[in-house]
Amino acid sequence: MASTKAESTPIFIALILFVVLSIVLGVTTYMFYKGEEDAITARKEADNEREIAEKETQEVQKKVDELKGLVGAPPDPAGPTVDEIMQEYEQNQDVYGETYKRNKGTELDDPSASTYPLMLKYLIDMNKSLFDQISQKDSQLTEVEQAHVAEKERLKAAHEATRKELGALSDEIKTNNEKFAQARTAFEKKYEKATEDVRKAQDKITEIQDKSRRDMNKVTEKINEVDNQLSATTNALQNARKVDLEAPDGEVIWVNQVDGTVYIDLGYQDGLRRQTSFSVYDHDVANALTAEPKGTLEVVQVKSDMSIAKVTSDIYAKDKLLNPILKGDKIISAVFHRGEPERFAVVGKIDIDGDGRSDLPLLLRLIERNGGVVDAFVDESGNQGGSSKITPRTKYLVMGEKPTDKTKTEILDAYNDMVKLADDNGVRVIPLKDLLDHMGFEGQGRSVGLGRSANPDDFKPKSGDQPFRRRPAG
């Protein structure tokens, strides 16, 4: 029994809980159902109130749209809002209302008193006032126009008079213009001719200036060339012609008074050749330019370091007995210098004996006998010859007889060319007679044999012969 009771207890508890839950669920269901009915009733009432409000709003919007149309706004609900319309009104009030108050001269207590009707009334008043002013101005304008017409008539008459005067002046100006055109045409022709003359003159001046400039450049180049050549020639001459006129070329080392033979200290190694002539001076001579020679010698035999010479003349000695040629006497040659032969050029007709025929071969032999060298010469046919040509080392240009106008052109050209070349190289010009005097040459009639069998009397000078004088070598 107790066991059965114990097993039924949970069932009773579950039944009780079920009953309680059923009651709670029923109550709750009732409460939710009641709340839903109240909510439906309240929503219906709200819908009714909303419909009423929408109708009222539509009526109000309709009136607002009508008012918008009155103030010039579009009656569209989406158009300007009331605030925007009021803002525009305030702007219009500031413009038209203030203007209205300012012109009326009163200050309104109510700022909103300047309504659109008042503004329109002011505008009408202003239009009327302006119309009155315009009417007054029209009257004034009519008066002015009448005065203008009168003035126009006066000016028209004055213009006509002026036109006539201008016509007369125009005719005069036309006549003057025609005269001016004619004068201008003549002037332009003269001007064109003068311009052409000036242009030609300028072209000629330019041509002359260009030619002068070219000529000047050529002259300058030629001057520079000549200066350079002169400088080179001067240097060459200074180097080639360092001959001390005060110093002897050699000296006598022994004398044979019996046969007139003299031994000198010059030979082949010094460049000496046979038949070279020397003047003899005292052993103590200081300057051959101012001293008198004792006599002259002619080399007849040349050895390596000495030579034998024949006394060709001793007429220059003041006293043969008191001042004979002695050992130690000094000898000087016009064309020979120790180790440096004199160089010559020959031009012109060479007539030594005056027979009218050329003696050029004889002169060339005489120069060579005296140790000289012929660099260049022109023969009687105008042909050039010689060992080389005229250079700054050439010392003398021996001048023969100058060609005449009747001489052949080639001879005259050769003569002028050699003279110019000698001048360009600074060669000293010496006449034929002076050269012969320097070498002691006495002509063909005075040619004598040499050797131990020679007669000393053959060397005596002719009457009228002048004493030999030492001339400068450079």
Are residues 254 and 284 located together in one domain of the fold? yes
Is 76 within the bounds of a domain? no
Are residues 304 and 352 located together in one domain of the fold? no
Are residues 197 and 258 located together in one domain of the fold? no
469 Cβ contact list (under 8 Å, min separation 6): none
Q: Are 108 and 101 in contact (CB under 8 A)?
A: yes
What CATH number does the domain containing 310 carry? Answer: 2.40.10.410
Is 91 within the bounds of a domain? no
Is 277 within the bounds of a domain? yes
Is 363 within the bounds of a domain? yes
pLDDT of 329: 92
Q: Are 339 and 270 in contact (CB under 8 A)?
A: yes
Is 115 within the bounds of a domain? no
Work out the pLDDT band at 309, boundaries 50, 70, 90.
Answer: very high
High-pLDDT (> 70) share of the chain, %: 75
pLDDT of 166: 86
DSSP annotation string for 312-374:
EE-TTSS-TTTS---TT-EEE-SS--TT---EEEEESB--SSSSSS--HHHHHHHHHHTT-EE
Give the mean pLDDT of the chain.
77
How many independent structural domains does the chain possess?
4
Of 62, 81, 114, which marks where a domain is finished? 62
Is 313 within the bounds of a domain? yes
More confident: 119 or 53 = 53
Q: Is the pTM of this model over 0.75?
A: no
Residue 407 DSSP code: S
Are residues 327 and 454 located together in one domain of the fold? yes
Mean pLDDT, rounded, for 327-350? 83
Return the minimum-mean-pLDDT range out of 170-184, 361-375, 401-415, 442-456: 442-456
Rounded alpha-carbon distances, angstroms, from residue 303 to 282, 289, 290, 298, 415: 24, 29, 32, 14, 39
**Token representation of residue 202:** 């300028």
Mean pLDDT, rounded, for 197-202? 87
Look at strands 295-302 and 277-281 and give their pairing.
antiparallel
Work out the pLDDT band at 39, boundaries 50, 70, 90.
Answer: confident
| Domain span at 362 | 341-441
Mean pLDDT, rounded, for 418-430? 87
Are residues 139 and 236 located together in one domain of the fold? yes
Of 25, 47, 62, which marks where a domain is finished? 62
Rg of the chain over Cα atoms, rounded to whole angstroms, equals 76
Work out the pLDDT band at 251, boundaries 50, 70, 90.
Answer: very high
Q: Are 227 and 416 in contact (CB under 8 A)?
A: no
Report CA 395 to chain centroid distance, whole Å: 48
Mean pLDDT, rounded, for 444-450? 46
What CATH number does the domain containing 354 carry? Answer: 3.40.50.10190
Are residues 182 and 320 located together in one domain of the fold? no
Is 58 within the bounds of a domain? yes
Helix (H) or strand (E) holding 295: strand 295-302
Are residues 222 and 143 located together in one domain of the fold? yes
Is 254 within the bounds of a domain? yes
| pLDDT tens-place string over residues 165-178 | 888 888 888 888 88
pLDDT of 265: 93
